[in-house]
Structures are given as structure tokens and as C-alpha cells.
């Protein structure tokens, strides 16, 4: 086997073919695979074996952090740093802290969602081995690709034969 081989990639014309190929590959025991398409294909993530994501947890932690920072900042400034008796209200007047606390909770949660998603997806990724396949530029236009990685325990020459048995347009070798 070529040590510079990233994997084999099958090219399909229809999204249903990609979905069926991903299901067949998972059923055959392949676990390290990726799908590429010009638009989201419903069911492909589950067919590839993705069950859950940690983005909601990251968003929750970001929101809690934002709320705590906002409330703590207001409490510190109103009670400790610069206490003012305005209209006889108590220094720790929590109802007046709610709007800013809400806004920073939403802001921190939104930033956590964006940056958490980017980091968990490994983005930005200016280079990936699949970019070496000349036809891969069609993945953002009209074609659907399923890539079986060489790091999979099932990988070998049988992987190429397996992809060919799915009747794709072509099977490409992906070099590192």
C-alpha cells in the first residue's frame, strides 16, 4: 500500500447515491470516512456515524460565563467600587442588572457557538489532501464525494473494490 495515500474517494452524481454509499460503507465496517457535497444532504451525518455534537454544551458554557461576567461586573461597580444611593434603592438592586446580564449572556453564547463550531470542525483549513484530486472542485458545484481514509482499520485494496461496487462515476486515489 502506498504510504502517501490519504484514502480513496468515490464520486457520485446524485445525493441519494451518496447517502446510500455512506450507509453501505458504515454497514461494511468503515468508520473513518467523510462526505462532501455542494449542499447539505439530510441523513448523511447519521450514515457516517455522527451521533452527537458538543456545540450545545459549549454554547451553554459560553452563556453562563457571559451572564456571570455581566452580573459580577455590575455588582462590583454598584456595590464595591462606586456605590451610589439613588432614590433610596439598595446598592444591590438586581432587577436593574437583568438587561445587561441578558445581553452579555446572548453575546457570549453566540461567540461560543461560532468559535466552538469552527474549532470543532478544524476550520479554517487552507489545505486538505482531497484538494489534490482534480475533480474535487466539483464538490462545491454538482458532484457528491465519499472518501474512505487510509487510517481506517478496514482499509486496503478491498476499500477501492468496495467503492467501485457502489457504482460511482469514478473512484479517485487521494494522495497526501
pLDDT at residue 43 in the model? 95
Q: In the chain, what's the furthest Cα-to-Cα distance?
A: 81
DSSP one-letter string for 53-120:
-SHHHHHHHHHHHHHHHHHHHHHIIIIIIS----TT--SS-GGGGHHHHHHHHHHHHHHHHHHHHHHH
pLDDT at residue 86, rounded to an integer = 84
| The predicted structure's pLDDT at residue 127 | 92
pLDDT at 51: 84
Res 1: pLDDT? 67
Confidence (pLDDT) at 115? 97
Could you tell me the mean pLDDT of each successive run of 10 residues in the chain, 176 residues long? Answer: 89 96 96 95 94 93 98 96 88 93 98 96 91 94 96 88 95 94
What letter does residue 148 receive in the DSSP assignment?
A: E
Amino acid at each position: 500500500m502506498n504510504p502517501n495515500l490519504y484514502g480513496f474517494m468515490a464520486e457520485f452524481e446524485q445525493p441519494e447515491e451518496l447517502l446510500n454509499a455512506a450507509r453501505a460503507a458504515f454497514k461494511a465496517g468503515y468508520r473513518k470516512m467523510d462526505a462532501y457535497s455542494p449542499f447539505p444532504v439530510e441523513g448523511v451525518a447519521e450514515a457516517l456515524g455522527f451521533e452527537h455534537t458538543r456545540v450545545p454544551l459549549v454554547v451553554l458554557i459560553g452563556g453562563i460565563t457571559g451572564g456571570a461576567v455581566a452580573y459580577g461586573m455590575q455588582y462590583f461597580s454598584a456595590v464595591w467600587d462606586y456605590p451610589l444611593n439613588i432614590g433610596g434603592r439598595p446598592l444591590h438592586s438586581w432587577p436593574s442588572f437583568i438587561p445587561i446580564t441578558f445581553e452579555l449572556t446572548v453575546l457570549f453564547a453566540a461567540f461560543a457557538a461560532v468559535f466552538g463550531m469552527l474549532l470543532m470542525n478544524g476550520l479554517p483549513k487552507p489545505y486538505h489532501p482531497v484538494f489534490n484530486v482534480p475533480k474535487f472542485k466539483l464538490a462545491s458545484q454538482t458532484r457528491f464525494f465519499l472518501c474512505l481514509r487510509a487510517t481506517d482499520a478496514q482499509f486496503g485494496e478491498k476499500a477501492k473494490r468496495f467503492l467501485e461496487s457502489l457504482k460511482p462515476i469514478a473512484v479517485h486515489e487521494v494522495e497526501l
